[in-house]
Amino acid sequence: MHTGPKMDQSVGHSLNNKSNHSQQAEKETSPINSLVDNKKGEENEIDCLIEAKTKKVEEENDAHYTPKNHENKTLLFREDQFVEAVFPAMTGGWCVMFMSVFTYISDVTTEEDRTFRIGVVNIFFSIGMPIGIALSGILYQVIGFYGVFGTASCMYMCSFWYGYTQIHEEPKAWPCDRPKPKGILAFLADFFDVRVLSETFNTAFKNGEKGRRLQVILLMLVALLLIGPVHGETTVAYLFVRRKWNWDELEFSIFSTYCVVLNLIGTLVTVGLFSAVLKFHDSAIGMIACASKISAALLYAFSTSVPMVCFAPILDMMSGTSFITMRALASKLVANDELGKVNSLFGVGEALMPVVCGPLYSKVYQMTVDTLPGTFLLLSAGITLPVFGIFGWYYYAASRENRLSVGRVH
């Protein structure tokens, strides 16, 4: 059977069909290719413009750069660091101010109203911070750096005048065994006397009724475990939400304001209702606050959607009262003339925790960012869990003491 010419004709026909199909496909894909080429051309033009702009800025900076200007800028930066760090460190800064305020409130308030008043002071602190942060940007845009720092200086002066002229303390007996200093030089010698440090530790950890030393040590541990996660989470919170939810600075600031407002509402409800009206024991309020913190940390860590993240601050809204109950319990363990020394130890511990927890949380986040970014929140929950147990022990001891008191009466 001879089929050669027919096969040649069929092969030629198929080749012609393939050629026609390829030409048609090229015509159909040519608009897409042109769009891709145009897109690449636009990107190249943008890159060239960015490079030209960057080069121009660098040339302008080099034109205005002189060694003298660089030396003055470096010196000014060092002066700013000196003023910002040294003077607050010499005077104690915010730690001493907080210690003084809470000590004075505890001194002039009865034990029944102490938790409520300390809570009110803490609420005003919570209100002042977001207001200051919100106004700082507006004031900077309107009056600049000098206006912002000048306004802050005027407010400091008003606070100093009010505290010096309107807040009066009752004269008290000299608490130390050595004679009271007279004159400026004697006062300075007593102020820098290292024996004051040993007296502070001896006063705070001396033996007393109902296991006083153990209770003070446990409360100091509570203070450290409460303040540590706060500073640690602040270090990596923005990195966490930016990676997991792709939030920018504006979204994070809005969410932070939302958290502050809810925490303020929770503090108002807890202090006003549980403490003032229902007369809950301080340790019971502390347990509620710790449970709020732990549940919110777990929800933050394992959240899978933005609504879950927005619900977590609702669970966390009562966690701020743990600081209030801790200070209230400490103020009721010691005499009024020993409040300053005990609160100073609390302040020292709170000042040291950022040095420890900041690097710790950063390292934990760095090690777990690719597996579970919320691991640092699980660390916070684990740190808060012993605090819950300590508050539970206080509640058990207080309940047992009340039962024994009722039994002795009957």
Q: Residue 117 belongs to a domain with what CATH number?
A: 1.20.1250.20
- Could you tell me the pLDDT band of residue 291, with boundaries at 50, 70 and 90? very high
**353, 231 Cβ separation under 8 angstroms:** yes
Angle at 198 between CA 85 and CA 192, to 5 degrees: 50
Q: If you average pLDDT over each of 128-137, 165-174, 203-212, 296-305, which comes out highest?
A: 296-305
Q: Quick check: is 333 in a domain?
A: yes
Residue 57: per-residue pLDDT = 45
Listed residue (398, 391, 343, 393) closest to 204, CA to CA: 343
- Could you tell me the pLDDT band of residue 283, with boundaries at 50, 70 and 90? very high
Structure tokens, 253: 């600031």
Listed residue (202, 181, 206, 177) closest to 191, CA to CA: 181
Q: If you average pLDDT over each of 47-51, 96-100, 171-175, which comes out highest?
A: 96-100
- Could you tell me the pLDDT band of residue 51, with boundaries at 50, 70 and 90? low
pLDDT at 251 > cutoff 80: yes
**89, 234 Cβ separation under 8 angstroms:** no
Structure tokens, 339: 């409040």
**95, 350 Cβ separation under 8 angstroms:** yes
Q: Quick check: is 96 in a domain?
A: yes
Give the C-alpha separation, 237 to 252, whole Å: 9
In this structure, which amino acid lies at residue 191?
A: F
Range in 59-68, 106-115, 183-192, 336-345 with the lowest mean pLDDT:
59-68
Q: Quick check: is 27 in a domain?
A: no
Higher pLDDT, 286 or 103: 286
Q: Quick check: is 394 in a domain?
A: yes
Higher pLDDT, 215 or 129: 215
Listed residue (357, 380, 223) closest to 292, CA to CA: 380
Residue 310: per-residue pLDDT = 94
Which helix (H) or strand (E) segment is 151 a member of? helix 111-166
How many domains is the chain partitioned into structurally?
1
pLDDT at 323 > cutoff 70: yes
Q: Quick check: is 373 in a domain?
A: yes
Range of the domain at 120: 92-167+201-398
Q: Quick check: is 101 in a domain?
A: yes
Please, which residues have CB within 8 angstroms of residue 197's CB and are 6 or more apart in sequence?
A: none
